[in-house]
Structures are given as structure tokens and as C-alpha cells.
Structure 1
Amino acid sequence: MAQSWGRKVIHSARASEDDVQPSSGASKEATAVYQNAGKAFALIEQHRTPPDPQAYALWYAYAAGEDAQVVERVDQLLANKTTLSPYDIDSIYQELLLPDTGQAATQSIGGAIEKEIESVLEIIQQSVSTNVTYQASLNDVETRLPDASSGGGLASLVSRLVSDNRRMIDTTKELSQGLSDSQKQLATLHQELEEVRNQCMRDPLTAIANRRAFDDRLEEEISHAFASGGKLCLAMADIDLFKQVNDNFGHQTGDSVLKMFAQCIKGNIKGHDMVARIGGEEFGIILPQTDVVSAYNLLVAIKSELKASEVPVEGDPTRIASVTASFGVARLEAGMTMRGLIEQADKYLYEAKKAGRDKVKAQGL
């Protein structure tokens, strides 16, 4: 089925953009869809992209121009090469175009929590109602007690009191059990919700933080640094010639390199430091309470450890050695925005690449 889809896309891509036209009387929305589809097919052919559903979804989103992140990411990649690799396409698709299953799961669990809370409130309301009824019965017995001079009347009131008391005990036990069950269910749901939230903030391949978590944390650390007058450095890291690893050894080996690099960084940072996979082979390292010299020395150590490591090749006795990465470091300065800090670190990362790769470039060093 995938091959059949691919043949259809190739055939359509060979048509010019103007050949893809809506039928007469189509709405503006339909016309835009047809036009963007034509542009997507043309882009697939122009950039020699594999004609599969993910590639079409990517180029359609790029042609539509409604998602600024997709446009920016594609433009960045095309600035350095003429085509997008399958890995590039998959990375952008997974990060920016795949439906947010985490959000759907969060909403589902949230709905279950609401229902369970409603159940708890019903139990409490029922308990209050039962207490009111029991209190009314006690008041009635108390009212009748002075007139129950005969043994038979007194025995009747005592019997009623005992019966009401037993019923109250049974109802209370039942309500307590229901409340206990609801509390356990709420605890389970809250735990599941926390797990889903953690998954939404974690890169599934490397098990470190993802771009969303990185953005949230960096914004938080910048605010804290400005409020406290503390130091903050940001490092951007990029694995050198990573495309060659994928092309020569396959994506499974490429994934192993990404995992190794992530763990190499994670094993060297500490405290409130944070490493995140920004996308593809690019990583961000947030270093609170760290000056530029200390950040530079840390990254040199990480760079050296990475270069000395080896990665096995899937299904082959070969091991990849001397994997290198480039690093750029910037420090937070007065009035600097989060975007400005990232751009500054990216600038030094570019300088490290330009200087021959396997380098650390830092502000002022």
C-alpha cells in the first residue's frame, strides 16, 4: 500500500503546480487545499524527497505556511543542503506534526478525575443526608420518651432506636468504603496524570528533556537569574557530520549515537543543570549559577569523553569511534530575552562548526 501511495505521489509531483486545480464552484478553503497540495508535490520533486505520507504532510504544512515552527525548521535545514533526509523529515514530523497524544491522554485522565470527584461529593452529600435523617429520628424518640410511661411504649422506642442505629452503622460503613475506594482511584489517576505529563516533557529516544521542557525551564531560569542577580549560561551542542553516520551505518546506529551523546552530557552535569534534545542531533544545556569559564571547561570535558567513546553498529562487528560534537556557549546578560540567549549560543555553535568542528566556542574566550 505504501509503494502504491508513493507511485501516485511521484506521478502527481511530475505535474506542475498549476495542474492541481479544484473543480468549478469550489470554496476558497477547497481552492487553498488544492493549491497547497500542488505546491507540496512540486516541493517533493524539487528537493528529491522520498514520496511517502510523512514527506507529503511536511511539505503540505510548509506550503500552507500556517505553522511558523515547521517553516523555520525546514528553512534552516535547506540553508545548509539541497534536500531533506528521511531522518530530517521524521524528526520534524514527530516533533511538530504528529498529533499530541499526550494532550489527549491528559484530557482523558482529567475527565476521569472530575467524575471521581463528583462521586466523592455524592458520597459526602449522602452522608450528610443520612446524618440529618438519623438526627431527626433521635429527636423524635427524645420527644416521645417522656410519654412512653408504659413498658410497651418504652420498648417500642428502644427497638426503633436500636434499628435506626444499626441502619446508621451499616450506611456509614458503606459510605466509608465508597470514600476509601474513590480516594484510591484518585491517587491512581493523579499518578497516571503525572506520568503522562512527564512523558510529554521527555524525548522518547534519548529519555532526556525535550524542546517543550527546555523552553519552559530556560524561561524559568532566566526569570530567576534576573530576580536573584545570579549567573546563567546556555550551551548549544550539535553532533558533527551526523548525517554521514545515518547514511553510512543506518538510523539505528544513528539513534545509538544520539543516546550515547545524551548520556555523556547527562553524566557530566549536576544539580539544577539540564540537558534537552532540541531536535535532530542538536542539544541544549542549561547551566544555572555557572560562569562562562566553568561552562567552557565542562563542555571541553564532555567533548573529550564523547570523542573517546565507541558506538556499536547494528548487525556488524564494526564500532564507530571518534564521534565529535561542536559546542557554543553564551551567558545571560542584562535585558537579554530567551530568544536572544539562544541565538547567541547558536552563534558560537556556528563559529565552532566553521572553525573545523570538534570545538567549544564561548563568549569572551
Structure 2
Amino acid sequence: MGRRDTGTGGPSGTAVPSGERDRSALLAHRAMALIKDLKLPATPRIYEFCYAYATGDYPSLNMAINDLLNRRIAIGDATIRQIGAKYIPQSHHGERIDHVGLRVKQVIGEVLGALGTIINAEGAFSSDIEETGEKLSAAKSGQALIDEIKAMMQSAQRLGDEQRRLEERMNTSIDDIGDLRDQLHKIRTASMIDPITGLPNRQSFDRLLERALAEWNDHGYAGCLVLCDIDDFKTFNDTWGHSTGDQVLCLVAMEVKQKSGKVGIVARPGGAQFAIILPGASIERARAMAEQIRCSVMSRDITMRSTTQRLGRINLSFGVVAAHANDTPDTMVVRVQTCLRAAKDRGRNRVVCEGDPEPSRELRVAFG
């Protein structure tokens, strides 16, 4: 596959449907064509990425993708996560939502305009019928009667034409609004997902924790919050590069997600931190799960994918807290961050739970 054109034509020579009259529809068509060409699933994150490519608003992103295409390097989900995180700013989601909102207003304006036209046409037809009735009553010859009947038929024909145009416009508007609704759903979904790991991002985490706490407070359920951080991740990134760092983030995300089971809600609030919301868990159960994740990640020997060079091992520090009565997301996050800082202060690579004055001896694990 060669270099793609993001100018006025459709991707890979795909013809752009003549019915696409606005830029939003044109870009959506190009994005879907790119997804099809790359043989990728049409997930919200991939659609958002391909739409950004189609706009041409991010030259560095397009250059990176075109370079891969020119070198015939396969573009998969991991590549899209890494390139998207590097070149697409978070403000892009807000711009897309604003653009879709503007288009919705335009479609509504067009529909209202069409309705106004048909209302005016019906008013004119009523006036014509009334006037024709008066003329028919006053007609003194057969020809005058025929002329007035023809005029009435022409007026009815005009009204019928306007009604058909309105029906066509309404059908087109229904399709347009359906497409825009789908686009908006994809944008909003993408804006809640971390592009590197595919986990819920900070905005999504805040909502998930708020929802969980409300349920726990209402029903008296137990629950815990776990926060982990990759030790010395900045040094790792500076030494081996951000691309390798992103691979480590994905590895840790996979381990955390797998070990949290079906009940745990995992998110990446930011940086090298991962949060786990555990409904119904006691603090001891949360501690045991954190230990399991820590040991599993630490046991892996990290290698650079491109050269198989050994990079060493990754250590994690954890903070664990249980929900208190009338907790808020802010109070719970502050407490778990305090525990995480304590884990860092006590030597890293360990789990510290709320109420632990000192790390338990069984939690101390030698490095290496």
C-alpha cells in the first residue's frame, strides 16, 4: 500500500458519494474508507484516529502514517494508540463535538426552512383556490371556465412539487442526523478512553468512582480503591524512549486488567498510574490482589520488541484504601494517594494499605 492522499479525493481511489455535500460527511467517508483499507475494526478509538488523519489537521500524524504505509509496515491497534497519543491533542475531541453540534444546527435550520416553504406554499394554494372559486362563479364562457380550472390545477401541481421536495429533504435530514448521532457517540466514547492502553481515562475514572461510591453509600456495600504507579518510569522513558515506555504501559494495563477479574474496574488516571475500583472487596482482599499484580509484573523480564534487548524488570508501588461512610471521590483519592506516597517513601515496590503504620514484614520483597 502506497502513500495516501488526504486532499480532495477519496482514499485509495474510492469514489466519494455525490450526496455528501458537507465536509463532515466527506471526512467521515474518508475515515471509514481508511479503516476498511487497513483492515481494522471500526472501534471508536480507531474511527477517531482515522478521522483525524482524514482532516489533515495534524501533519506530523499524517507523515508518521504515510511513512509506515510507504515502507509497507502493518498498522495495527497498538501502532494507532501510540501515534494517536503522541500527535492528537485532547482538545481534538472538543473540536469534533463542536463541529458536529454546528452541523446538527445547520440540518435543523434547513428542515425549518423547508417547512416554512411548504407552509407558505399551502397558504398560497388556499388563496388561489378561494380566488379561483370566485372566478369560476363569475365565469361567463366555457373557455374562461377551462382557463380557471387549468390555473387551479397548476397551483395544485406547484403545491405537490413543494410537498415532494419537503419529503425528500426530510428523508435526507433523518439520514444526516442519524450519521451525526453516530459520529457524536464515537467522539464521546473516544474522549473517555486512554489512547495508549485502551482503559478508561481520568475523566471516565472520576465518573466511575463517583457512581460506585453513590451505590456503596446508598446500599451500605463495602468497596476499595487501589492506586498503583510504575516505579522510576520517567527514568525508564528517558533511557529507552517513549515508544518502549508505551509498550510497558500496555503490559502493566493488561496485567492489572487480567488480575482484577470481572468485578474490578480498571482505569488509567494519568502518567504511569493505574486505578482499580473494587466493589464488595475488603481491604485484605484488595491487598492480596495488589500483591498478586505486583509480583506478576515484577517477574517479567522486559525486552525491547525491535531488538530483543533485555531492559530489566518493572516494579510497582501500591496504595490501598477502603471506602468510608459518606466518602466522596476526592476524599478517597486523597487517602489512596497518601498510601501510595508512603509505599514510595518506604522503598518502592510494595503495597501500603490505609492503617499500616509500617509495611508488614511479609510485604517486603527484595529487588531483583
For each residue in 1:199-222, what CA deviation from the matched residue of structure 2 results, as whole angstroms up to 9, or x when unmatched?
Answer: 333323223222222223323332
Hey, what's the Cα distance between the residues in 2 that align with 1:228 and 1:210?
27
- Deviation of 1:353 after TM superposition, in Å, equals 3.5
Q: Is the 8 A contact 2:302 2:313 kept in 1?
A: no
Corresponding residue for residue 308 of structure 2: 317
Hey, what's the Cα distance between the residues in 1 that align with 2:91 and 2:150?
63
- Deviation of 1:238 after TM superposition, in Å, equals 0.7
For each residue in 1:269-298, what CA deviation from the matched residue of structure 2 results, as whole angstroms up to 9, or x when unmatched?
Answer: 466743222232112222334433443343
Q: Does 1:206 align with 2:197?
A: yes
Corresponding residue for residue 303 of structure 1: 294
Corresponding residue for residue 120 of structure 2: 129
Q: Does 1:267 align with 2:258?
A: yes
Q: Alignment length, in residue pairs? A: 270
Corresponding residue for residue 161 of structure 2: 170
Q: Matches of residues 181-200 of structure 1 in structure 2 within 5 Å?
A: 181-200=172-191
Q: Is the 8 A contact 2:343 2:349 kept in 1?
A: yes
Q: Does 1:256 align with 2:263?
A: no
Corresponding residue for residue 101 of structure 2: 110
Hey, what's the Cα distance between the residues in 1 that align with 2:132 and 2:279?
71
Q: Return closer, same or farther for 1:296/1:147 CA change in 2, 3 Å cut-off.
A: farther
Q: Return closer, same or farther for 1:139/1:199 CA change in 2, 3 Å cut-off.
A: same
Hey, what's the Cα distance between the residues in 1 that align with 2:263 and 2:269?
18
Q: Return closer, same or farther for 1:267/1:174 CA change in 2, 3 Å cut-off.
A: farther
TM-score (norm 1): 0.63
Corresponding residue for residue 233 of structure 1: 224
User: More displaced, 206-215 or 317-326?
Assistant: 317-326
Q: Return closer, same or farther for 1:133/1:226 CA change in 2, 3 Å cut-off.
A: farther
**1:130 alignment partner AA:** A
What's the secondary structure of 1:256's corresponding residue?
A: helix
- Deviation of 1:107 after TM superposition, in Å, equals 2.4
For each residue in 1:95-145, what CA deviation from the matched residue of structure 2 results, as whole angstroms up to 9, or x when unmatched?
Answer: 9xx783333333233222222221221122222222232333344455556
- Deviation of 1:343 after TM superposition, in Å, equals 1.8
Corresponding residue for residue 234 of structure 2: 243
Q: Is the 8 A contact 1:328 1:347 kept in 2?
A: yes
- Deviation of 1:169 after TM superposition, in Å, equals 2.3
**Structure 1 stretches of 5 or more lacking a match?**
1-93
Hey, what's the Cα distance between the residues in 2 that align with 1:355 and 1:103?
41
- Deviation of 1:333 after TM superposition, in Å, equals 0.7
Hey, what's the Cα distance between the residues in 2 that align with 1:310 and 1:160?
89
CA RMSD of superposed structures (Å): 3.2
Hey, what's the Cα distance between the residues in 2 that align with 1:140 and 1:272?
75
- Deviation of 1:313 after TM superposition, in Å, equals 0.7
Hey, what's the Cα distance between the residues in 2 that align with 1:293 and 1:166?
80
Q: Return closer, same or farther for 1:99/1:264 CA change in 2, 3 Å cut-off.
A: closer
**Structure 2 stretches of 5 or more lacking a match?**
1-84, 357-368
Q: Return closer, same or farther for 1:171/1:344 CA change in 2, 3 Å cut-off.
A: same
Hey, what's the Cα distance between the residues in 2 that align with 1:123 and 1:225?
52
Q: Is the 8 A contact 1:308 1:321 kept in 2?
A: no
What's the secondary structure of 2:193's corresponding residue?
A: coil
**2:243 alignment partner AA:** Q
For each residue in 1:225-251, what CA deviation from the matched residue of structure 2 results, as whole angstroms up to 9, or x when unmatched?
Answer: 323333332111111232342244333
Corresponding residue for residue 318 of structure 2: 327
